[in-house]
């Protein structure tokens, strides 16, 4: 069982874009420790010869024809936006670059 440090949890929170207080990080790293200990059991039977299953019911090649269907009206598209301007979603300044 691998130990998970508070720093690791902080990094996970950063990846997951969730601000966390020190108290939250402390609490969560303790819980993660316990949960990971329990779920690590999967490794006992997951041998190399077992293929992974990602879809419970195997289906292939589900596609749609390349046909345009009406979009939402811009009003509907923007209806849930916390802020909008010039028919666009208005968001706080984007600092990073992808």
Partner 1 sequence: MSIRNSAAEMAEALAKKEISAVELANQHYAQIEAVDKDVHAFLHLDKAGALAQAESIDKKRAAGEKLSPLAGVPLALKDVLVQKGVPTTCGSKMLEGWRPPYDATVVAKLKDAGIVILGKTNMDEFAMGSSTENSAYGPTHNPWDLTRIPGGSGGGSAAALAAFEAPLAIGTDTGGSIRQPAAVTATVGVKPTYGGVSRYGLVAFSSSLDQAGPCARTVLDTAMLHQSIAGFDPKDSTSINHAVPDVVAAAKKKDVKGLKIGIVKQLSGAGYQKGVENKFNDAVAELVKLGAEIVEVSCPNFEYALAAYYLIAPSECSSNLARFDSMRFGIRIGDDGSKGAEEVMNLTRQVGFGREVKRRIILGTYALSSGYYDAYYGSAQKVRTLIKRDFDAAFEKCDVLVSPTAPTTAFKIGEKSEDPLAMYLNDIATIPVNLAGVGGMSLPCGLADEDNLPVGFQIMSPAMKDDRMYLVGGALEAALLSKWGKPILDFAPRLAGSK
Partner 2 sequence: MSLNYDQAIEKYEPTLGLEVHVELNTKSKMFCGCATEFGAEPNTQTCPVCLGLPGALPVVNKTAIESSILIGLALNCSIAPFSRFARKNYFYPDMPKNFQTSQYDEPICINGFLDVEIESDEGNKVFRIEIERVHMEEDTGKSLHVGGSTGRIHGAEYSLLDYNRAGIPLVEIVTKIVPNTGKYAPQVARAYVAALRDILRGLKVSDVKMEQGSLRCDVNLSLAPSGSGELGTRSETKNVNSLRSVETAVSGEIVRQANRLQSGEKIVQETRHFLEESGETRPGRSKEKAEDYRYFPEPDLVPVVPDNKWIDELRKTLPEKPADRRKRLQSEWSVPEKEMTAMVNAELLDTVEETVKLGADPTKARSWWLGEISRIANERDVVATELISVTAVAQIINLINQGELTDKLARQVVDGVIAGEGTPAEVISKRGLKVVSDDGALMKAIEDAIAAQPDTAERVRGGNIPAAGALIGAVMKATGGQADAAKVRELLLKHLGQ
Whole-angstrom CA distances from 5 to 12, 14, 30, 31, 79 are 11, 14, 9, 11, 42
Dist. CA 98–CA 66, nearest whole Å: 29
Angle at 56 between CA 53 and CA 57, to 5 degrees: 120
For residue 69, state whether it binds partner 2 (rule: CB under 8 A).
yes
Q: Which of partner 1, partner 2, none does 4 bind, CB closer than 5 to 8 A by kind?
A: partner 1
Q: Which of partner 2, partner 1, none does 66 bind, CB closer than 5 to 8 A by kind?
A: partner 2
x-or-dash string of contact with partner 1, 8-47, rule CB under 8 A: xx--xx-xxxxxx---x---x--xx-xxx-xxxxxxxxxx
Binder among 86, 92, 97, 98 for partner 1 (CB under 8 A) = 92
């Amino acid at each position: 069982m691998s130990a998970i440090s508070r720093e690791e949890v902080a990094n996970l929170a950063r990846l997951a874009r969730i601000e966390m207080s020190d108290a939250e990080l402390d609490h969560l790293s303790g819980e993660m420790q316990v949960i990971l200990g329990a779920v690590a059991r999967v490794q006992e039977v997951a041998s190399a010869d077992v293929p992974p299953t990602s879809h419970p019911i195997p289906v292939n090649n589900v596609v749609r024809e390349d046909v345009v269907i009406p979009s939402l009206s811009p009003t509907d598209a923007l209806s849930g936006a916390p802020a909008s301007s010039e028919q666009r979603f208005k968001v706080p300044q984007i600092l990073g670059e992808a």
